[in-house]
Each structure stands twice: as C-alpha cells, then as structure tokens.
Structure 1
Amino acid sequence: MKQYLEVFVMVAEKKNFSRAAEELHMTQPAVSQYIRALEESMGTRLLERSNKYVRLNKAGEIVFHYAKEILGLYVKMQNSVDDLINKATGSIIIGASYTFGEYILPHIIAQLQQNYPEITPSIQIHNTKEIIELVLDHQLDVGFIEGNLKNEHLTSEVILEDEMFIVASPKHPLFKMQKEICISDLDKETWILREIGSGTREATENFFRMHKLNPKRLREFGSTQLIKESVEAGLGITLLSRWAIEKELTNHSIEIINVKGLPFKRDFSMITNTPYQIKALKTFIDTLHHYLANQQNFLER
C-alpha cells in the first residue's frame, strides 16, 4: 500500500502522469496502473483527468490528506526501528516560522552538520499557523513557532525569550524628537505588518492591545525581508525581533525607536507530535539547546 500512496501523492503534486513517472523512475503505464488499483481499492475515482490536466476530486483530496500523513508516519516508524541499531544518522524534517527559521535555525543546522554530518536535515519555512498544522499532520518531525502553544495533541516547550523593538529608517521624523517616545505617539504612524497567521503579526497585535493602540494606517507584507526593506525606504515603522534586525542595526540602515516600555517580549517554542524521538532528532534538539545556551551566556556578559 505504501508504494500505491507514494505514486498517488506524486501524481497529485505534479498534476501530470508523465512528470510523476519521471520523478518516480517508472513508466507512465505503470503509474496509471498503480492509480487504477488504488481507486479500485477505495471504490471510487480519486483524480479527474483530461488531455490538459490531472486534478484531485473531493474523494482524492481526502485520500491525499491522509496519504501524506500515513507516509510521514511510515518514515518515522522506519527511522525508529533503524535507530535501535544505528548511531545518529538519517533524515529529519524541521519546520520553523520565519523569524526563527531565517535568523536562528541556520546557525544551529551549521553546528549540527559540523558535528554530525550523517544527519541530513531538511527545512521548511512557513508562518506559525502553518507550522502547527504540519506538525499535527506528521509532515514535520519538529516545529518552531513564535509564541506559546497549548494543544492537547502536541508537546510544546518554550526554548527562548525573544525581545522585539519598534524600528524605522534613520531619516524618520520620530528620530528628530530627541526624546523618549510615548507609545501613544505611535498611533498616527504608518505600520508595516506581516500577514495574519504570522507569529510576528500576532505579537504586534498583542502589543497594540496591551497599549490600547489603534493605528489607522496599516500595510501588510508577506515577508520579514520585504518589511525591513520597506522600513529602510521610509514607508513606515514596524515591530521586529532583535534577531531579525542585527545586520541592519550594525550598518545603521534602520534604527530602534526609543519607546518607553520596550522591548516587547514573547517566546519561541518547539513543538513535536511523537512520544518517541529517534537519535537524529534527539541529537538535533541537544544541539539546539547547547547553541541557545551559549547565545544566552554571550548576551549576559
């Protein structure tokens, strides 16, 4: 059944029998035979076919969702059995929200690869909401999100406290005030925000609620890098993690606004969805804790 599901998932993702066959190193007739056999076992058609496209129907969408989860669990099972007799090796799939994934995780992966080259991590970057869903569906071995999570199906551990600052272009009029800015002064500013579902967006909205801010001029952009470029260009102000702005602060392309009551603090959390961790995942998590502990010690000096 595993191979039938693998073929079905590939066809659904490629939306084409010949491209799926090429990816799977199979002939197109063999792929078609696997799909027919799976549809017969399900008792219904799963794909709508024409000369121009192949797409999932309603039944196919259900099978595709569970097939991805089953294949993810199969890999976990295989790795767990191999883990009984082998050292830390093999693949792990790591997911992270943008701030953690783009500004912290690469340094941890570099340290892991230096010490354990036989572990092969792959990384997926999504917003916090999507990372939670992927961990729930067993598509990720471990996920990192912004904020704390309470979910009876997932194990969550706060791993790092994050400090967030309001930043703007050095040419922004707020820097001419030559004093500590009151939070109420920020209500009339143009704010550049991440999309809904992002941990940074959630933190910003929490900051607004906490300080009773209701800014009317909001612009929504889909990436932290785009927000930083926009702030540097003078389009507005934003609230970002200190991890995300280190380089910009160093070259003074953006600056921290001296606002009373900041920095705003939130947590980064690690989430998992399995009672058993293979050695490769345990080794990664140990490397993570070691790296973060060293960073904390450095900041406290």
Structure 2
Amino acid sequence: MINPQWLKSFATLAELRNFTRTAERLDLTQAAVSQHIRQLETIYGPLLIRRTRQIELTPAGIALLEYCEEVDRADKRLKLRLTEADIHCGELSLISPGSIGLSLYPLLLALQQENPRLAIRHRFAPDSEVLNAVLENRYELGLLTLKPDDPRLTASVFAEEALELVAPAGAQVRSWEDLASIGFIDHPDGQAMATRLLSRCFPGSPGVRAIPSHGFINQISLILEPVARGLGFTVLPQYARQ
C-alpha cells in the first residue's frame, strides 16, 4: 500500500504547484516533500514537469491525482459509516443550470429549515461549467441538460423540462425568416437550447448562428427583459420562463 503521507504531499503539491507553500501547509520541510515525490516517482515514473516558475502534472501525475481524490472520498465515506454521523449535518453542494435551479432552490431551503445543521451551497452555471465543477470535485452533484459521456461520471435522468421559444408580444413567428427578422437574445446555454428546439421546429434551417444576435445576458432573471422590449426572441427552459 502506498504511504498516505506521500499521497497527501503529492495532492497538496498538485493543488498549490509550489514546494515551499506545500511544505508550509503540511508543516513539513521542503526536503521532506521532495523526498515523498521522489518515492512516488520511483514507483510510477515522472509525475511532474518542473519549469522555472511552474509545476505541471504529467499524464501519470494526473492519474495519480485522480486516485488521491478517490481515496479521499472513500475515507470520508468510511468515517461517516463508522461514526454513524448525522446525514442531515454538514454541507450539500449542488451546481445546476439556472432554470432547474430556480425550481430546486426553494426546496433545498425548505430542507435546510427542517435540518438547521445542514448548509446548502448551490451555484447556477451553464452545462460546461457544471461538468468541470463535478469532475474537479468542487461540487458533489451536478445537473446537466444533456447526458455526459465522460467515463469518470455516473448519470441518471432527474427531470424533464420543456424548451420554449419566447418572442416579443405581438410578434408573428410562422417561418424561419420571421425569426431572422426579430433577432436572437443569447445567454450561456442559449445557442445549445436554440439549436435543439429550432432544429425540430424548422428542419433544414441554416441554424441559430445564422440569425442576427441582438444581445447576450448571463443573469437568468433578466433574459426576458430585452425580449419584452421587442429587441429579439430567445429560447428558455419552462421553469426559467415561468
């Protein structure tokens, strides 16, 4: 079995990318940290690319870091089982697109009210950020609008939500040309959502990128404001529109 202290030194170095700061955090000498890394490299080969002011991980280093993270999660699960810790105590971290988040957040707050020792950490983000945040273990759970194909993740269906085309009041949308004349109001997941919906409503169309962009906004509560002012149409999930 690998020495846990070696793994701890390596994982901390991978986070801080600096031997001196790693030694300070772990209350070790820099020589001790270096020795731990050498021991690991004797077993697994080169783990680091040492540059003048930067440290990078080799492919073997990335694989070992993923192993360290797996060990850390397993250790936490074991401690939870052995101590019979209260499952309603601690932090729950969730990252999701804004629309489903608007629906979920009041339910999470109600859960926290029932369990005051529970802390809810919920971030709204587009699909790409959700995926990276879960892969990097910055959040425990993530919701995506498409099933991820990364083998490091497990995914299951959580909910269904309709996509809606939202246009200014009085606008006539009968053809692709009507949409092009109105213009598109984009948001972080706007291109992907519009492509999914419009490809079904207008098969054979040139795609949303061919429609003039009349604006972009990343605040979900404000996306419909330019639409209401007649500046363009957008595509949103149902919860967001509601």
User: Please, what TM-score do these two structures have when normalized by structure 1?
Assistant: 0.58
Please point out which of 183, 186, 196 is paired with 2:179.
186
Find 1:228's aligned residue among 223, 232, 235: 223
SS at match of 1:94: strand
Aligned to 1:208: 198
Contact 1:190–1:217 at 8 Å: present in 2 too?
yes
Distance in 1 of aligned mates of 2:100 and 2:14: 31
Matched, 1:154 2:154: yes
Paired residues for 1:1-301 under 5 Å? 1-24=3-26, 26-42=28-44, 44-83=45-84, 86=86, 88-101=88-101, 103-123=102-122, 126-128=125-127, 131=130, 140-146=139-145, 154-159=154-159, 161-167=160-166, 175=169, 178=170, 180-184=172-176, 185-194=178-187, 198=189, 201-212=191-202, 213=205, 214-215=207-208, 216-217=210-211, 219=213, 223-225=218-220, 228=223, 231=226, 236-244=232-240
**1:296 counterpart residue number:** none
Cα deviation, residue 67, structure 1: 2.8
Which consecutive unaligned segments of at least 5 residues does structure 1 have? 169-173, 247-301
CA shift at 1:218, angstroms? 5.3
Contact residue 231 and residue 238 of structure 1 kept, 8 A: no
Number of aligned positions between the proteins: 232
Tell me the distance in 1 between the aligned counterparts of 2:231 and 2:18: 43
Q: How far did residue 227 of structure 1 move?
A: 7.8
Distance 1:186 1:217, change over 3 A: closer
Distance 1:24 1:230 in 2: 51
Between 1 and 2, higher relative CO (CA 8 Å, sep ≥ 6) is seen in 1
In 2, Cα distance between equivalents of 1:33 and 1:226: 53
> Displacement of 1:58 after TM fit?
2.9
Contact 1:94–1:142 (8 Å) recurs in 2: yes
Query: SS in structure 2 opposite 1:52?
Result: coil
CA contact (8 A) 2:131 2:142 kept: yes
Gap change, CA 1:148 and 1:38, over 3 Å in 2: closer
Distance in structure 2 (CA, Å) of the matches to 1:150 and 1:57: 24
**What is the CA-CA distance between 1:18 and the residue it aligns to?**
2.8
The 3 A distance-change label for structure 1 pair 120 and 82 is farther
Residues 127 and 145 in structure 2, CA contact (< 8 A), matched pair in contact too:
yes
Structure-2 residue corresponding to 1:281? none
Specify the SS of the correspondent of 1:45: coil
Give 1:132 shift. Answer: 5.3
3-state SS of the aligned residue for 2:46? coil
Change beyond 3 A, Cα 1:97–1:187: same
Counterpart-to-counterpart distance in 2, 1:100 and 1:54: 39
> In terms of mean alpha carbon deviation, does 140-149 or 50-59 score higher?
140-149
Is residue 46–residue 58 contact of structure 1 (8 Å, CA) maintained in 2? yes
* RMSD, aligned α-carbons: 4.0
- SS of corresponding position for 2:56: strand
| CA deviation string 1:101-140 (max 9, x = no partner) | 4x34443332232221323444455533564576678775
Query: Contact (CA 8 Å) 2:217, 2:223: kept in 1 or not?
Result: no
Counterpart of 1:265 in structure 2 is: none
Query: Contact conserved, 2:187 with 2:223, CA < 8 A, in 1?
Result: no
Instruction: Please state how far the C-alpha of 1:156 moved relative to its aligned partner.
Output: 1.6
Give identity over the alignment, percent: 23
Is the CA contact (8 Å cut-off) linking 1:94 and 1:122 kept in structure 2? yes
Q: Deviations over 1:258-300 (max 9, x none)?
A: xxxxxxxxxxxxxxxxxxxxxxxxxxxxxxxxxxxxxxxxxxx
Q: TM-score, normalised by structure 2?
A: 0.69
Rate the CA distance shift 1:229–1:50 in 2: closer, same or farther, 3 A: farther
Amino acid in structure 2 at the alignment position of 1:217: I
